A and B are shown apart, each in its own frame.
Chain A
Amino acid sequence: MGLADSGRMPKPLTQLLNTARKYSLWIYQWGLACCGLELGAAIGSPRYDVMRLGVIPFPSGARQADLVVIAGTVTDKMAPPIRRLYEQMPDPKYVISMGSCSNCGGPYWDSYSVTKGVDQIIPVDVYVPGCPPRPEALLEGIVLLQQRIQQEDMAARWRGDPIVVGA
């Protein structure tokens, strides 16, 4: 949009668009390891339903997703596919790092084949701690992300400015 481009987005319009965006996230679940099961429980289980937050699972591919949840241990061998699939996602995109393995290496912090945290490869918006975090913890992470999206200035992303976390 020309408005976003030139950096002159009026406040009410930003609010409206952000509200729309935060309630229509399409989540690309990357269940790598045990956290993937809790991710599956959050998404597929009728108890911890993630759809009630407006987050829809199972896009047809990375190119149609805007939120990716890296759930599980990131190994050095897996790092290039993660990077590649992250780059395939269109902007604006968000990343949630779920579980201590993808936050910082977790219980495998001293392993020779584990990347100590997925934030070494891709930028992360929300870290959800736990080993594994309960599905409710993931839902809280998504809610935090939604609050963050609400405060976002879309023009900043377009300009390429660093995103500042709102209050």
Chain B
Amino acid sequence: MEATAVDERRQPWLDALRDALGDALVGHEIAGADIWVRVERTAWRRAAQACRDRLGCDYFCFISGLDWKSDVDLAGEKVWDPAPPVSSGAEAAGDGRYQTGVAGGEDRFQVMARLFSTKEKMGITLKADLDAEDPRIESLVPLFRGADWHERETWEMFGFTFDGHPGLRHIYLPGEFEGYPLRKDFPLLAREVKPWPGLVDVEAMPGEPEGGAEGAEAEGAQAEGEGGEG
């Protein structure tokens, strides 16, 4: 059965990490032929080192960030928001896979890294919570040189500081860019100024008053149109 097969391959990895990190491993999940491990912020580099030395993860896939803030009031359509709203609440044994971000509180930001072993052909996703006011964490550059650019991009997009990075500077955006684009409270100004014209599903007949009476309702209808074409 697939579940057992997954466990057989990935459970030893989890055990080895638990052995190496002890209490610093605060959450884990093995599901869908993949493994997630969440560690304490202070154990970030130790965790990556354990992955490299004990699990054999020699391949550096990526580092990025997650911003769990979900109650931002921006004009853009919140298409990721299910309606009706799903109940929030941190899950018990999970590792932040589904977590309603608290506005301004703890655990708004997470950094995630993906490492892979070219020998075992298996990968692992590492996560760590960051402080919302001053998100900073150790840099993985001394362990994996490829982390250099990925950490620069994460700093640029989220504002996370990586201690020990040779030089955090812009990689994608021009030097004078203000703000951190991938944070949830960074608005897409084009959508603020003018809502997406496709929201209106039905054009008014000639002679009828034009207007967005169907605007809000049409979002569902428009989405149905999109799904219907699919």
Contacts and interface: CB of A to CB of B under 8 A. Distances in A.
Direct contact of A and B (CB under 8 A): yes
B83 interface: no
B190 A116 contact: yes
Nearest to B197: A109
Interface in B157-197: 172-174, 181, 186, 188-191, 196
Interface residues of A, number: 8
Contact of B173 (A77, A109, A110, A116): A77
Interface residues of B toward A: which range?
10 to 19
Main SS at interface, chain B: loop
A110 B191 contact: yes
Main SS at interface, chain A: loop
Interface string B114-143: 000000000000000000000000000000
Interface in A98-122: 109-113, 116
Given A112-B186, A113-B181, 8 more contacts: A76-B174, A77-B173, A109-B190, A110-B188, A111-B188, A111-B190, A112-B189, A116-B190
19 contacts: A76-B174, A77-B173, A77-B174, A109-B190, A110-B76, A110-B188, A110-B190, A110-B191, A110-B196, A111-B188, A111-B190, A112-B181, A112-B186, A112-B188, A112-B189, A113-B172, A113-B173, A113-B181, A116-B190
Interface of B: 76, 172-174, 181, 186, 188-191, 196
